[in-house]
Amino acid sequence: MAKTFGATSTTDEVLDGVNLSGKRVLVTGVSAGLGVETARTLAAHGAYVIGAARDLKKAERATTQVREDARNGGALELIELDLSSLRSVCAAADKLVAEGKPLDIIIANAGVMAAPFGKTEDGFETQFGTNHIGHFVFVNRIAKLLRPGGRFVSLASSGHRRSDVDLEDPNFDRGDYDPWVAYGRAKTANILFAVEFDRRWRDRGIRGVAVHPGGIRTELGRHMQPGDLEALAAQLNKQAAAQGKAAFEFKSVPQGAATSVWAGVVAGAEEVGGRYCEDCHVAALTDAGMMDLSAGVRPYALDADRAKALWAKSEEMVGEKF
């Protein structure tokens, strides 16, 4: 009988008894938080992990435990990847393609949240450019390395419920910048990318899935002011109490990374392909907003036509067809 996991399941619980010897997994954002834990548990179960990070010195310091826990052939290799620079993205992807070594899983974990208005090296709004465009180009350039049966896991967020993508003004060129709206757009894009990726690759036995890790205290909140995260939690709990729902609780990092490894390794391909997952299960559709503790995914984030349109717009923005 298949094991059942939930919101409090940890990475090691999800992978209990799983041997990943011979598997090659690429994880972005391995210099802190969820990326480090994802790499650690995969290597501990025998996978060869390629960890991508903007700051390699920081990543080296952060991944000591990954190497200590690696067993059964598991190992960690670090590569430089700055998702806010297409020059860096293309260089990292081209190097991997030139090496020609196959991959079994790609986990697009890196990202920024609620950043002040800014532009990437290539002129894209910071959150959309880093969270979506950088991964869009990187993943598409290395997708040919995925073996049949492989998976692409795109880390999204319940923050997608704050806003759909704006294909007419993705860079806020018309003004009215709001860091949470920008985050919502970028996270919706992360889901739509997985939806269209799944459609394009599933005939070759490769699936795409988006996941929400849950609320975790990590460096993702570095752009927030001291106390902002606690204030947000208090606001969520006030609303939850008014609705008669359980209080919000932060997840630990191992609990937060559990859905990524569940969707990438444990869940059935047909179960999760083209879907949005949270708490180690496939989420249902909802009309709830970002500040509602109800689980679920907004319909616009799984809309197939919207996913195709975002893909086309992204290609237009980077000047490259995939």
Q: Check residue 242 and give its pLDDT.
A: 74
Q: At what angle do helices 86-99 and 135-142 cross, to 10 degrees?
A: 10
Strands 75-80 and 103-108: unpaired
State the Cα torsion 116-125-138-32 to the nearest 10°. Answer: 0
Quote the number of domains for the chain. 1
Q: Check residue 1 and give its pLDDT.
A: 47
Determine, yes or no, domain membership for 3: no
Range of the domain at 250: 11-318
Determine, yes or no, domain membership for 263: yes
Q: Check residue 226 and give its pLDDT.
A: 62
- Residue 47 backbone phi and psi in degrees, to 5: -80, 150
- Of 177, 183, 276, 300, the catalytic one is 183
Determine, yes or no, domain membership for 4: no
Tokens of 264: 């990438």
Q: What is the pLDDT of residues 59-87, one digit of tens each?
A: 999 999 999 999 999 999 999 999 999 99
Q: Check residue 232 and give its pLDDT.
A: 66
Q: Which CATH number is 177's domain given?
A: 3.40.50.720
Determine, yes or no, domain membership for 80: yes
Determine, yes or no, domain membership for 90: yes
Degrees to nearest 5, angle at CA 114 with 180 and 58: 160
Tell me, yes or no, if 48 is annotated catalytic: no
pTM over 0.95: no
* Residue ranges of the chain with per-residue pLDDT less than 50: 1
Determine, yes or no, domain membership for 232: yes
Q: Check residue 222 and give its pLDDT.
A: 59
Residue 69 CB coordination number (10 Å)? 17
Tokens of 71: 């067993």
Determine, yes or no, domain membership for 5: no
Determine, yes or no, domain membership for 75: yes
